[in-house]
A and B are shown apart, each in its own frame.
Chain A
Amino acid sequence: MKAFHGCCDSEKVIGSVSPKYQEKKADSIHVMLAGNPNCGKSTLFNRLCNLNVRTGNYPGVTVSRHVGSYGDRIQIIDLPGIYSLNSASTDELVASTELLDNDAELIVNVIDATSLERSLYLTLELKMLGAPMVVLLNMWDEVKKRNISIDLEKLSKMLDADIIPISAASGEGLNAFEDYLRNVKWGVVEPVYLGSDRIVRELSAVADVTPNLYKSHALFYAKSAVLGDSCPEALTKDEKWLAAVETAKNNIASGFDTIYQAMASDRYDYVDRIISECVAGGAQAAEGRKKSGLSAKIDAVVLNRYMAFPIFILIMCAVYYISVSWLGSIATDWANDTLFGEEIIPAVTGTMTSLGASEWLTSLVSDGVVGGVGAVLGFVPQMIILFFLLSVLEECGYMTRAAFILDRIFNSFGLSGRAFIPYLIGSGCGVPALMTARTLGSESERRVTLFTTTMIPCSAKLPVIITMAGAVFNDFLVFDIFGTEFRMFAPVMYLSAVFIVILSAIILSKFSQFKSSASSLMLELPDYHRPMLRVVVLSIWQRVKGYIFKAGRIIFPCVTILWLVSHIGYVAEDGRFEMLDDSDTDNSLVADLVRPVSGVFAPLGFDDYRASVAVITGLVAKEAIVSTMAVFVGVDEPEEPEDDASDEELAESEEQTNAFYTAIKNRMFHVDELGIKGVLAAFAFVIFNLFTIPCVAAVGVLRKEIGSSRLFWIAIAYQLGLSYGIAMVVYQFGLVFAGVAPFSLWTGISIAFLLVIAYILFIKKAPATEQSISFEFVKD
């Protein structure tokens, strides 16, 4: 066997993060990481396999299993966190199913040693699976810091398992665990129920009559059957076994309110015994508040009745103001104007010309490829800022606090506070946001979240908002407060997104597919952590890397094809194709192809074929909208101000500098010809693109997560319909209010649309609440 390498000489560790890393190999040894949510499994997994799966300081970050290789023979499988092997939400079901499939040669039970009592409940359940198990007492540094003393030898004896104290975050104790992996005895062990003799007797009675085929799991199935969990079908047809289960159930439940209470009490009694014998000070010490003093102090302020909302609003405003408006726009302006506009594009053009490339090739490379891809890459600095702030939020432990204070508000539109987490993640990227919806407690809540999370502007829609704000809305929604200019376009778009999500949640709650009781919030409040620089940097890198790769893999071919079809025209009289001038895209292939369908957007005002092409490329990736604009409008050289120009002329030329913006404004939306009409069309364009169906990647995840294809198509139709309707209302009403167009058929249709929404909101009754919570499990 090849020697193992630890994290400390990490360059030698072979970690694979290929798209296929979800695959398990049959000939490997499978080591499964199991434990409560937020106990540090993924952090440990990342260290052992030298990978970088998503981590965060809130329960439910891992929503599907991750497989990583450790050495040549061992595969480590990171599972979503669970409290028990019965599971209510989809992510927990993934973990339970995986553990019950039982091809684990070793179960690694990761435990938050600072809340031993809570964690051991699952440990006792895992002992019933009959796989070798090692218990890792994670957060051992914190245990030492708080002067909690745990008798490891005694604990090991009482749990009949090996115990290794570690700190996954700092890497302390990992060597001991890796030694353990090297010397572990692989094989099967006897499943045991650790608890009172009374229950052992009852469960054994059931196990004794279990048919031989299921003998190895007899104990676990006995426990499952008693609790009413699903068991293999063949077993449920065995009369003798069924009768034994019934007897055991009645015997165990006698004297208790419910069978669940009987079983849970027994297990917690055993846990209490462990605590009182192994933890210094015993049960009394464990009972009080174990939370670290600092966390309690922060919570006293952050969760204070009067301070909670102001602090929440302040944090949210700070995150988005910094990343979207202030620092973010400084970064983007620099990257777009200085780096690309003044350095890279002229340099590329110069090089191409000096190499003697033909004019159209130069234009393809500099305007098409560099301009198109650059329009997207220019946003990388801004993205880094946004992802930095989001990952700090995820790491520090504030997410669950936000869920806590928002719960009541979310309840009023049928969601629980926990739904805040996917929406916040969605402002970074919709794909992980859609997957996070798995952790929500009820199917209806999941559906509403899946329908609406992608309406929150993600990092790829941010370039669209910023570009359009610069191009068209520079003179609108700008307020002068105490001499400082506040450009409100971006904030207004983010707020509209929140408004539309709320509107959607209320609309959807009126239909039976979405209406069941909002799941009750049951969420552990973790201690605050100082975000670790390493984790934050890695997570920014991972996300930005995805964005940059997308620019190469998707945007690059996209703009190249687009440039070609927009610069090649078909000349009917000659029956041949020919190259067109930059400004002549009106006669291009893409214009011929798209113009007939661009009428679809006439009611929204933007029926120019260029805008329609942007909408279509936006379905591939939202940032492609900006690239498309770059390809179509080209980037003309800004006019050099003349030497003797007056100040006024200089200022004017300053405005002219951004030729890209001016071109979008006038060529795409014809603001110079149409005036306010063009501005309204541009506004409708932004609204439609922000709230309509997301990019292909997100649509694929949506399809997988939503389960049924009928619901999927409803979701698509809903997103299309709503975004179209709202954009239409804004445009048509805008025309009438601005007095540039008379009342028309489309004004009427817009009014009808609003009436339908109003009917659903205010008159339609919500269907009767269903108590049943059902899950359609989506297998990876």
Chain B
Amino acid sequence: MILNEMKEGQTGRIVRLLTEGARNRRLCEMGFLPGTVFIVTHRAPLGSPMAISVRGYEVIVGADDAGKVEVEIV
């Protein structure tokens, strides 16, 4: 499953990052690492972006990044 497909309020676990280079690095540094558990706290009214609660903080993730993260529902 891709992060983009998750619904508001669902909890997931990151399986794999499908990005490369600078984008991959940024996601890693923000703590989006395989095994990390997170909650989709909000989806914007127009579908994207989404707000994600991860590692004790809440961050907005844009559609193009959210489309490149493989996740599983917990």
Q: Find out whether the CB atom of B64 lies under 8 angstroms from the CB atom of A520.
A: yes
- In-complex Cβ contact of B51 among A264, A306, A404 (8 A): A404
In Å, the complex CA distance between A305 and B29 comes to 30
State whether A260 and B28 are in contact (beta carbons under 8 Å apart), knowing that A289-B39, A306-B45, A407-B60 are contacts in the complex.
Answer: yes
B2 vs chain A, min Cβ distance (A): 15
**Chain B neighbourhood of A400, CB < 8 A:** 60
**Chain B neighbourhood of A286, CB < 8 A:** 55-56
**Chain A neighbourhood of B26, CB < 8 A:** 88, 522
State whether A409 and B22 are in contact (beta carbons under 8 Å apart), knowing that A416-B62, A522-B30, A525-B51 are contacts in the complex.
Answer: no
A120 vs chain B, min Cβ distance (A): 10
Interface string of A391-414 (1 = CB under 8 A from B): 000000000100111011101000
Chain A: which residue is nearest B42 at the CB level? Answer: A303
In Å, the complex CA distance between A268 and B27 comes to 13
**Chain A neighbourhood of B47, CB < 8 A:** 408
In Å, the complex CA distance between A108 and B16 comes to 35
State whether A523 and B48 are in contact (beta carbons under 8 Å apart), knowing that A83-B30, A121-B29, A264-B29 are contacts in the complex.
Answer: no
Q: Find out whether the CB atom of B57 lies under 8 angstroms from the CB atom of A290.
A: yes
**Chain A neighbourhood of B56, CB < 8 A:** 114-118, 286-287, 290
Q: Find out whether the CB atom of B29 lies under 8 angstroms from the CB atom of A303.
A: no
Q: Find out whether the CB atom of B46 lies under 8 angstroms from the CB atom of A517.
A: no
Q: Find out whether the CB atom of A308 lies under 8 angstroms from the CB atom of B45.
A: yes
Interface string of B52-63 (1 = CB under 8 A from A): 010111111111
Task: Determine whether A521 belongs to the interface, using a CB cutoff of 8 Å to chain B.
Answer: yes
Chain A: which residue is nearest B11 at the CB level? Answer: A288
State whether A773 and B41 are in contact (beta carbons under 8 Å apart), knowing that A265-B33, A520-B64 are contacts in the complex.
Answer: no
In Å, the complex CA distance between A211 and B67 comes to 44
Task: Determine whether A299 belongs to the interface, using a CB cutoff of 8 Å to chain B.
Answer: yes
In Å, the complex CA distance between A773 and B58 comes to 26
Q: Find out whether the CB atom of A522 lies under 8 angstroms from the CB atom of B65.
A: yes
Max chain B Cβ within 10 angstroms of own Cβ: one of A84, A409, A521: A521
State whether A405 and B57 are in contact (beta carbons under 8 Å apart), knowing that A118-B31, A257-B17, A520-B23 are contacts in the complex.
Answer: no
Q: Find out whether the CB atom of A258 lies under 8 angstroms from the CB atom of B20.
A: yes
Task: Determine whether A261 belongs to the interface, using a CB cutoff of 8 Å to chain B.
Answer: yes
How many chain-B residues does the 8 Å CB contact rule pick out? 38
Q: Find out whether the CB atom of B45 lies under 8 angstroms from the CB atom of A305.
A: yes
**Chain A neighbourhood of B24, CB < 8 A:** 257-258, 260-261
How many chain-A residues does the 8 Å CB contact rule pick out? 51
Q: Find out whether the CB atom of B25 lies under 8 angstroms from the CB atom of A83.
A: no
Q: Find out whether the CB atom of B49 lies under 8 angstroms from the CB atom of A257.
A: no
State whether A404 and B44 are in contact (beta carbons under 8 Å apart), knowing that A118-B56, A257-B17, A517-B64 are contacts in the complex.
Answer: yes
**Chain A neighbourhood of B48, CB < 8 A:** 407-408
Interface string of B32-43 (1 = CB under 8 A from A): 011001010111
- In-complex Cβ contact of A417 among B29, B49, B53 (8 A): B49
Task: Determine whether A309 belongs to the interface, using a CB cutoff of 8 Å to chain B.
Answer: yes
Q: Find out whether the CB atom of B28 lies under 8 angstroms from the CB atom of A258.
A: yes
Interface string of A244-265 (1 = CB under 8 A from B): 0000000000000110110111
In Å, the complex CA distance between A121 and B59 comes to 16
Task: Determine whether A217 belongs to the interface, using a CB cutoff of 8 Å to chain B.
Answer: no
Q: Find out whether the CB atom of B58 lies under 8 angstroms from the CB atom of A291.
A: yes
Chain B: which residue is nearest A519 at the CB level? Answer: B62
In Å, the complex CA distance between A296 and B42 comes to 10
Q: Find out whether the CB atom of B64 lies under 8 angstroms from the CB atom of A261.
A: no
Task: Determine whether A578 belongs to the interface, using a CB cutoff of 8 Å to chain B.
Answer: no
**Chain B neighbourhood of A305, CB < 8 A:** 43, 45
**Chain A neighbourhood of B23, CB < 8 A:** 520
State whether A303 and B30 are in contact (beta carbons under 8 Å apart), knowing that A261-B24, A291-B58, A404-B60 are contacts in the complex.
Answer: no
In Å, the complex CA distance between A521 and B44 comes to 12
Chain B: which residue is nearest A279 at the CB level? Answer: B56
Chain B: which residue is nearest A84 at the CB level? Answer: B29
Q: Find out whether the CB atom of B59 lies under 8 angstroms from the CB atom of A523.
A: yes
Q: Find out whether the CB atom of A88 lies under 8 angstroms from the CB atom of B22.
A: yes
A313 vs chain B, min Cβ distance (A): 12
Task: Determine whether A280 belongs to the interface, using a CB cutoff of 8 Å to chain B.
Answer: no
Task: Determine whether A666 belongs to the interface, using a CB cutoff of 8 Å to chain B.
Answer: no
- In-complex Cβ contact of B60 among A261, A519, A525 (8 A): A525
- In-complex Cβ contact of B44 among A408, A416, A773 (8 A): A408
In Å, the complex CA distance between A299 and B16 comes to 29
**Chain B neighbourhood of A303, CB < 8 A:** 42, 44, 51
In Å, the complex CA distance between A265 and B60 comes to 21
In Å, the complex CA distance between A206 and B59 comes to 35
Q: Find out whether the CB atom of A289 lies under 8 angstroms from the CB atom of B41.
A: yes
Q: Find out whether the CB atom of A261 lies under 8 angstroms from the CB atom of B33.
A: yes
**Chain B neighbourhood of A407, CB < 8 A:** 44, 48-49, 60, 62
Q: Find out whether the CB atom of A117 lies under 8 angstroms from the CB atom of B55.
A: yes
In Å, the complex CA distance between A306 and B56 comes to 27
Which residues of A from 411 to 464 have beta carbons under 8 Å from B? Answer: 411, 416-417
Max chain A Cβ within 10 angstroms of own Cβ: one of B17, B56, B59: B56
In Å, the complex CA distance between A520 and B65 comes to 7
**Chain A neighbourhood of B28, CB < 8 A:** 258, 260-261, 263-265
Q: Find out whether the CB atom of B25 lies under 8 angstroms from the CB atom of A260.
A: yes
**Chain A neighbourhood of B31, CB < 8 A:** 117-118, 121, 264, 268
In Å, the complex CA distance between A409 and B63 comes to 12
Task: Determine whether A86 belongs to the interface, using a CB cutoff of 8 Å to chain B.
Answer: yes
Chain B: which residue is nearest A300 at the CB level? Answer: B42
Q: Find out whether the CB atom of A291 lies under 8 angstroms from the CB atom of B60.
A: no
In Å, the complex CA distance between A291 and B57 comes to 7
B28 vs chain A, min Cβ distance (A): 4
- In-complex Cβ contact of B25 among A86, A118, A404, A523 (8 A): A86
Q: Find out whether the CB atom of A261 lies under 8 angstroms from the CB atom of B17.
A: yes
- In-complex Cβ contact of B57 among A308, A517, A524 (8 A): A524
Task: Determine whether A227 belongs to the interface, using a CB cutoff of 8 Å to chain B.
Answer: yes
Chain A: which residue is nearest B37 at the CB level? Answer: A287
Interface string of A505-529 (1 = CB under 8 A from B): 0000000000001011111110000
**Chain A neighbourhood of B65, CB < 8 A:** 520, 522
Q: Find out whether the CB atom of A523 lies under 8 angstroms from the CB atom of B42.
A: no
Q: Find out whether the CB atom of A403 lies under 8 angstroms from the CB atom of B60.
A: yes
B60 vs chain A, min Cβ distance (A): 5
**Chain B neighbourhood of A261, CB < 8 A:** 17, 24, 28, 33-34
Q: Find out whether the CB atom of A405 lies under 8 angstroms from the CB atom of B61.
A: no
Which residues of A from 349 to 407 have beta carbons under 8 Å from B? Answer: 400, 403-405, 407
A369 vs chain B, min Cβ distance (A): 51
Chain A: which residue is nearest B36 at the CB level? Answer: A268
Chain B: which residue is nearest A269 at the CB level? Answer: B33
**Chain A neighbourhood of B61, CB < 8 A:** 520-522
Chain B: which residue is nearest A310 at the CB level? Answer: B45
**Chain A neighbourhood of B29, CB < 8 A:** 83-84, 86, 121, 260, 264
Q: Find out whether the CB atom of B44 lies under 8 angstroms from the CB atom of A268.
A: no
In Å, the complex CA distance between A289 and B16 comes to 23
21 A-B pairs whose Cβ atoms sit less than 8 Å apart in the complex? A83-B30, A84-B29, A114-B56, A116-B56, A260-B29, A261-B34, A264-B29, A287-B37, A287-B56, A289-B39, A290-B53, A290-B57, A309-B45, A405-B45, A407-B60, A520-B65, A521-B60, A522-B62, A524-B59, A525-B51, A525-B58
New contact pairs (7) apart from A308-B45, A408-B47, CB-CB < 8 Å: A299-B42, A405-B46, A407-B44, A408-B44, A417-B49, A520-B63, A522-B60
Q: Which 7 A-B pairs have the closest CB atoms?
A: A520-B62, A264-B28, A408-B46, A521-B62, A260-B25, A115-B57, A290-B56
